[in-house]
Chain A
Amino acid sequence: MEPFNIKIGYGAKEVTLTILPIGDHQYKVIYYAAVLGGLKYDRDCWEAIPIENLEAGDLPFYQHNVDSGNVNVILNEATVDEIGEEIEHLFSAEEDL
Chain B
Amino acid sequence: MIFPQMTEKKVLKVGLDSAAPFPMHSDYNSGNFEGFEVDLLSAITDHLGLKIEYQVSLWSTILEQLFKGELDLICSAVTITPSRRHILEFTNPYLHFRLCAVINQEDQLKGINDFKNKTIGIREATEAERYVHANFPGNNMVHAETNKDLYRKLQTGKIDLLIDDSPIAGGFLQKNKKLKVGMYLPGTDSQYAIAMKKGDIQLKEQFDEVLTLLKENGVYQTIYKKWFNDIQF
Contact = CB atoms under 8 A, between A and B. Distances in A.
Given A3-B83, A58-B83, A33 B126 contact: no
B60 A33 contact: no
Which DSSP category, helix, strand, loop or mixed, fits chain B's interface? helix
Contacts of B136: none
Nearest to A62: B64
Given A58-B84, A59-B83, A33 B63 contact: yes
Contacts of B59: 60
A63 interface: yes
A94 B84 CA distance: 27
A55 B133 contact: yes
Choose among B59, B61, B66, B133 the residue with the greatest number of A CB atoms under 10 Å from its CB.
B61
Interface in B69-100: 79, 81-84, 86-88
Interface string B151-189: 000000000000000000000000000000000000000
Nearest to B84: A58
A58 B129 contact: yes
B54 interface: no
Contact of B87 (A30, A55, A63): A30
Given A32-B68, A33-B67, A56 B86 contact: no
B127 A34 contact: no
Nearest to A63: B60
B39 interface: no
Contacts of A57: 83, 125, 129-130, 133
Interface in A46-92: 55-63, 65, 68
Given A57-B133, A60-B125, A34 B63 contact: yes
A59 B86 CA distance: 12
Contacts of B83: 3, 20, 30, 57-59
Interface residues of A, number: 19
Contacts of B130: 55, 57-58
B61 A60 contact: yes
B208 interface: no
A26 interface: no
A56 B66 CA distance: 18
Contact of A58 (B60, B64, B66, B126): B126
A2 interface: yes
Interface in B96-154: 124-127, 129-130, 133
A63 B63 contact: no
Nearest to B80: A58
Contact of A33 (B64, B82, B124, B129): B64
A44 B87 CA distance: 30
A18 B83 CA distance: 9
A3 B124 CA distance: 21
A56 B125 contact: yes
Interface of B: 59-61, 63-64, 66-68, 79, 81-84, 86-88, 124-127, 129-130, 133
Given A3-B87, A33-B63, 8 more contacts: A3-B86, A32-B64, A32-B67, A34-B64, A58-B84, A58-B130, A60-B61, A61-B125
